[in-house]
Amino acid sequence: MPPRSYAIAYVCGMLRRLVSRLYWAISRWTLRSEPAPARPSVLIGAPHTSNWDFVLMLAIAWRLGIDVRWLGKSSLFAGWRGPIMRGLGGIPVDRADPSRVVGEVVARIRAGEVFGLVVTPDGTRGAHEYWKSGFYRIARETGMPVTLGYVDRRTMTTGLGPTIELTGDVSADMERIRAFYADKSGVHPAQRVEPRLREESGGAPAS
């Protein structure tokens, strides 16, 4: 990276830490987190029940000094919002072909890009039954661990929980994830989705 790029990255990092410190100083939410993962991981943001989850996600990552990318529906990147969202680390997802972005992210990581990837596997904030399995596929195909990020309205806390290595046994891995999120409510508890993948029946690898 050229010296100018290093300088820009350093200044941006300082500004992000400053903004995040200010945010946590005035926020009603309390950051209660384990340390940042020792190496880049797939960071789950759950339960995803509010647009405020996006703000909390950035505030957590910036406060802990984690360089993150995040997956968002393509409509968020339309028009003038596109450069802003990409500047904040966004990667657009075409809901008509969501599997393509999984392959693209895996290719970027295998090519040497280093970043944490934030995903909201419970998908949109509407009613549905299962989590999306993209996070599982990305973690398994890249060898990245999974960090369990959370929002809990009942305690007004948010942050990062444990970082785990997936085994390939979907049912066993999801049992560990369910145990962690069992008492996490999200911003709107009524919209919370139980952590469960369609692929769990029989424990086959997610695809």
Maximal C-alpha separation, the chain:
53
pTM for this structure?
A: 0.87
* Helical ranges in the chain per DSSP H: 3-26, 52-64, 81-87, 98-110, 134-142, 170-181
Mean pLDDT of the chain: 88
Sequence ranges of the domains in the chain: 3-200
Which pLDDT tens digit goes with each residue over 66-98? Answer: 999 988 888 888 888 888 889 888 888 877 777
- For 6, other C-beta atoms within 10 Å of its C-beta total 10
Phi-psi domain of 98 (left: phi exceeds 0; alpha: psi -120 through 50; beta: other):
alpha
Phi-psi domain of 168 (left: phi exceeds 0; alpha: psi -120 through 50; beta: other):
left
Task: Give every CB contact of residue 61 below 8 A, 6+ residues apart in sequence.
Answer: 43, 67, 68, 116, 118
Which pLDDT tens digit goes with each residue over 105-148? Answer: 899 888 988 899 999 998 765 567 889 999 999 999 999 999 99
Q: Is the dihedral of CA 122, 124, 125, 126 positive or negative?
A: negative
What DSSP character marks residue 27?
Answer: -
What is the distance between the alpha carbons of residues 122 and 131, in angstroms, rounded to a whole number? 4
**Do strands 146-152 and 157-164 pair parallel, antiparallel, or not at all (unpaired)?**
antiparallel
pLDDT of residue 203 exceeding 50, the answer is no
